[in-house]
Amino acid sequence: MKRLFDLAGAGVGLWFLWPALLVVWIIVKLDSPGPGLHWSKRVGRDNRLFAMPKFRTMRIDAPQVATHLFSDADAFLTPIGKTLRRFSIDELPQLWSVLIGDMSLVGPRPALFNQDDLVALRTEQGVHNLRPGLTGWAQINGRDEISIREKVDLDREYMDRQSLAFDLKILIATFAPVISGRDFSR
């Protein structure tokens, strides 16, 4: 049932958003040198790596690390990048990843390939068995403002409480912080 829900949500989302996605892609291309999309190497279900698309918000010379590890992330953001991140517009191409089965609409956010601490904790808790999500329980309970341990605890809670009703609650709750930019850090 969850996969059907994901297919329907991603399909409808891409169908209605494709004109806006095209406009954002053009803006990103015109805003700074480099591609409009960045394909980030991420850890998926069962710790398998996959390429996850995002609108590019960082300069092409930015290191491939989690943003919180930068000493000055603003130095690597493109002019439009901060706005795209603040409102999570950079994440919309991930609807493609949901459509092809690499991701789900709701689940733990996919770790970067080099976030060994996060991957290890998720594996220890069994969370690695879940398909990563476009949004998740940890995102609506702190997003970038909580520790890795807290994220994994929330991911585990999500795993234990999984249901279509819980996914709908998370999807609905996702819109408030995205629209307001609450709990956002670069």
Cα 134–chain centre separation: 5
State the pLDDT at residue 186.
Answer: 42
Q: What average pLDDT does this structure show over 168-178?
A: 83
* Nearest CA among 70, 54, 85, 103 for reference residue 181: 85
**Extents of the domains making up the chain:** 2-180
pTM of the model: 0.88
By mean pLDDT, which of 17-26, 82-91, 124-133 is the weakest? Answer: 82-91
* Residue 179 pLDDT level (bands cut at 50, 70, 90): low
State the pLDDT at residue 69.
Answer: 67
pLDDT surpassing 60 at residue 11: yes
pLDDT surpassing 50 at residue 58: yes
